[in-house]
Structure 1
């Protein structure tokens, strides 16, 4: 693995900023299953792969996001449940994007979400499938949402966190709320909060999701690296 934390972003988070939310060893760690399936490896050595296999066998399904590989990495003692190519994008800070972020931070439609909203957040995530999401994903950072007539129709928030970057994640909109710009609005609100603490917004998407990629480019994000996302289960 290279020395840039973004090249091993999940491990960077789990072994530093978000160690308190993780379980595992000095070679393989994952978020507590109640928070989500994301896991990271110190490297791709046989020892780290074996540690990851032990973690999967002990705690259940886990997902790796690896840069520098184009195929699912074989991990003895586990089985690949699903694999997909993703892209890592970082905010480039152009003036137009920053202006839109500032406007979003003042939009009265956006409401902060809290633990009491977790059941609705999970229901929305299960319906729209924005990526890995569990009952306590909201513990990782602030989420915001938009409600109509009391219903949570859209949300976005913070997930993986390193010393320099924070991930914009969980971006999703209920079918009844689509076409109103909520995904862009909430993504900008999350990005603004990240910039406000002196870190850079980061996000991930699947390479075949052209709609999402086009949106993120409009928001001021640029592609940095390809990421192989693989979900593993016990053998």
Structure 2
């Protein structure tokens, strides 16, 4: 499970680096605190590391691994879901231009609406404090948040674009693309590289990401573990 590139093990890279202050630890295994996210990782697949991972699940609930392959069988836990993901990276700058719509930076006061929108549209795991993992921008109409995009995992030199979603009543207006480009531009302005993950079967989303300058880097497996 070791790798020289931080994106080969993005969760481990984030949890042992800039986001280590958001983690819970059991032995050698780490996870985001549940209010922030599901993601967890261990240094390797040794019996002790897997036992530590199982203890995290028992103590704090389901976790999600994002690795080159799924874990071996782990006593005490069960696989709830298993899916192939595409990891995509925007190495070259994108032309952002002037947005065709008004958007704004989202703040703590927007947290209830952010959680409600993510719960409705299911862009990926999103919890009460997921919005605190990075900066988010959004579109509001009549005071209602109808679209947003933001940041999630932050491995060294990189930041993940995530939480991209649009209310079903307001799709087809370019909100997702415009907000993603803005988030990616802000990441790049900090001297970092934007990246993202998409389920491999979500060909529509992948086509959008490619049009926005994100290129396939590698396949990874997202495995969700629950109490056995």
Match status 1:103 vs 2:98? yes
Q: Which residue of 2 aligns with 1:221?
A: 214
CA contact (8 A) 1:131 1:170 kept: yes
8 Å contact kept, 1:87–1:207? yes
Select the structure that is richer in helix.
1
Range that drifts further, 26-35 or 58-67: 26-35
What whole-Å deviation, never above 9, does each CA across 1:146-184 have from its counterpart, x for those lacking one? 011211111110000012100000001110110001110
In 1, the alpha carbon distance for the partners of 2:71 and 2:48 equals 18
Size of the alignment, in residue pairs? 227
Q: Is the 8 A contact 1:17 1:162 kept in 2?
A: yes
Which residue is 2:82 aligned to?
A: 83
Provide the rounded CA distance (Å) in 2 between the counterparts of 1:49 and 1:18.
22
Contact 1:140–1:158, Cα closer than 8 Å, also in 2: yes
Counterpart pick for 1:192 among 185, 188, 193:
185
Task: Give the CA RMSD over aligned residues.
Answer: 1.4
Residue 6 of structure 1: aligned partner = 7
Superposed CA offset, 1:29-70 (max 9, x none)? 111101111112212222211110011111011111112x2x
Please state how far the C-alpha of 1:26 moved relative to its aligned partner.
Answer: 5.8
Residues 1:34 and 2:27 are matched in the alignment = no
Q: 1:20 to 1:85 in 2, by over 3 A?
A: same
- 3-state SS of paired residue (2:152): strand
Show the counterpart of 1:54: 55
Find out whether 1:113 has 2:114 as its counterpart: no
Q: Give distance in 2, aligned partners of 1:135 and 1:201.
A: 24
Counterpart for residue 223 of structure 2? 230
1:133 equivalent in structure 2: 126
Question: Which secondary structure does the structure 1 equivalent of 2:59 belong to?
Answer: helix
Render the CA deviation track for 1:173-227: whole Å, top value 9, x for unaligned. Answer: 1101100011101100110110010000010000010111000000000011111
CA–CA separation in structure 2 for the residues paired with 1:118 and 1:204: 23
Matched, 1:183 2:182: no
CA 1:27 to 1:174, structure 2 compared with 1: closer, same or farther past 3 Å? same
TM-score (norm 2): 0.95
Q: Quick check: 1:143–1:157 contact (8 Å CA) kept in 2?
A: yes
Question: Structure 2: which 5+ runs fail to align?
Answer: none
